[in-house]
Structure 1
Amino acid sequence: MVDVQNDFLPGGALAVPDGDAVIAPINRLARHAPHVVVTQDWHPTGHVSFASRHPGKMPFGKIALPYGDQALWPDHCVQGSPGAELAPGLEVSRAGLILRKGTQPGVDSYSAFLEADRTARTGLAAYLRERGLTRLVLTGLATDFCILWTALDARAEGFDVVLVEDAVRGIDADGSVSRALETMAQAGVERIHSQAIDA
C-alpha cells in the first residue's frame, strides 16, 4: 500500500483525482495477502519539495537540486499532521511494516526503495529479502510518481512486480499516467485487476 494518506485524497493538500477509490480494492486484497507493507510520506516542515520553501516559486513548478530536477508541491504530508495520516477506512491491521519516507529535509522520496538522490536506501529491499519475499503487488497513490518509482526500483532490485490497475490512481499531468504505465511495462511490470487476484 503506497501513500494512501489524507493529503492525497479528494479535499487534501495534494489530492489525486479519485484517490479514495483505491481503498476498497486495497482492503479486499490485504485480507488475502501473505504479507502487507504500508508506505507513508512523512515530510518535515519546510521540506525541500514544498514550493512554499522557495520564494517566488509556485506548486507544480521545478527547481534544480544537487541530485537533479525537483518537482515543487503544495505543503503535504507534514509529520504529525492530519494530512499525513493514513486514510480513514484503510485496513492496515495486518501490516508487518509501516515505512515512512521523505523524512530528510533536503531530499525528496517517491520510491519506497531509494530516495530521490538515488543513493539513500530505505531498507525495504533488505526487509523483503529477509522474509523471503520475491513478488510485490503494488497498490496506492500516485501511479505516475510514487508507484512508478517504487515499481522501477523494485524491478531493479530483482523483484517481480504486479500493478493492480483498479487499486491505483494518478495525478495525470499531461498524460503522465499513460507514460508511467508504458515505462513500467517496459521494465517488466505486470498489470492485473484486483478481481483476478480475488478469483
Structure 2
Amino acid sequence: MSQESFGPESALLVVDVQNDFCPGGALAVAGGDAIIPVINAWMPRFATVVASRDWHPANSVHFSNWPPHCIAGTYGAQFRAGLDTGRFLLVLDKGTNNVDDGYSAFEATSENLESWLRGRGIEMLYVCGLATDYCVLQTVLDALRLGFGVTVLRDGIAAVEVNPGDGQHAQSVMEAAGARFVPSGQN
C-alpha cells in the first residue's frame, strides 16, 4: 500500500470496531477482526482520526430489535484489542439514550460530529468499520447528506448479514448515494 498521507481536509472515521461486533461477541460480524490490520495501516496517513462506538444503556429500546450488545462500560463495548486506539482524536458515543438506535456516528450524543469536523476544515471522510449494513451505511448516508465527500475502504468494512446479501445491498445504496469505494491499497 502507498504510504501517501492525506491533507488536513481529510479524516479517517472508524465505526464501531468493538468486542461485541467481533467474533465471540454478542452481535458478532463474521470476519470482523480481519479489518483491524487494514484500519491500523491507514491511520498513520491521516492527521485526524475519529472513532464511534455504540454505548447503550442496559435497558435500551434498541434491544427490542437486537440482542443486548455494547452496553456502556462493559467488555463488549470496548474497542477490540489490536485496534490502534491511541490515534483517535475523538471518540463518539452513540445510542446512549433509551429512545434511539444510534446507528450513525452523526447521531452521537457525546459530541456533534458535523460541527467538530467542520471546525477543523474536514471536507472528505474515509470510512471503515462495522457493520457495513447498519452503522457504516447510516454514517456514510448522513455524511453525504451533510455535504462531505465519502470514500469507503472496501476491505476495511464487514457486514453482519442478518439476511444474506445485506452487505452488498448496503454497498450499492452507498455507491448510488455518491460514496466511492476503494481497496485499501488505493487512494
TM-score for both structures, normalised by structure 1: 0.84
Are the counterparts in 2 of residues 112 and 122 from structure 1 also a CA contact under 8 Å?
no
Q: How many residues align?
A: 173
- Indicate the percent of aligned positions where both proteins have the same amino acid: 43
Say if 1:110 and 1:195 are closer, same or farther in 2 by CA, change over 3 A. same
Q: Which residue of 1 aligns with 2:35?
A: 22
2:149 alignment partner, one of 152, 160, 163 = 160
Structure with bigger helix share is 2
The answer to whether the 8 Å contact 1:114/1:121 transfers is: no
CA distance in 2: counterparts of 1:31 and 1:160, whole angstroms: 20
Q: Which blocks of at least 5 consecutive residues in structure 1 are unaligned?
A: 52-71
Checking the alignment, whether the CA contact within 8 Å between 2:93 and 2:110 is kept in structure 1 is no
Shift of 1:122: 5.2
Q: Secondary structure at the match of 1:100?
A: strand
Displacement, 1:107?
1.1
Query: 2:156 matched to 1:171?
Result: no
Q: Which runs of 5+ in 2 are unaligned?
A: 1-13
- The question of 1:149 aligning with 2:138 is answered yes
Q: Structure 1 residue 94: deviation in Å?
A: 1.6
Q: Distance in 1 between matches of 2:151 and 2:111?
A: 21
Preserved contact between residue 5 and residue 84 of structure 1 (Cα < 8 Å): yes
- Give, as a single letter, the amino acid of the residue that structure 2 aligns with 1:126: S
Deviation at 1:121, TM superposition (A): 9.6
Change in CA separation of 1:79 and 1:121 when aligned onto 2, cut-off 3 Å: closer
**How much does 1:33 deviate?**
1.3
Q: Deviations over 1:36-60 (max 9, x none)?
A: 0010100001100113xxxxxxxxx
Which of 75, 78, 91 is residue 98 of structure 1 equivalent to?
91
2:29 is the counterpart of 1:35: no
Alignment of 1:1-199 (within 5 A): 1-51=14-64, 72-114=65-107, 123-172=112-161, 173-197=163-187
What TM-score do you get using the length of structure 2 for normalisation?
Answer: 0.89
RMSD over aligned CA atoms reads 1.4
- Detail structure 1 runs of 4+ shifted over 4 Å in the superposition: none
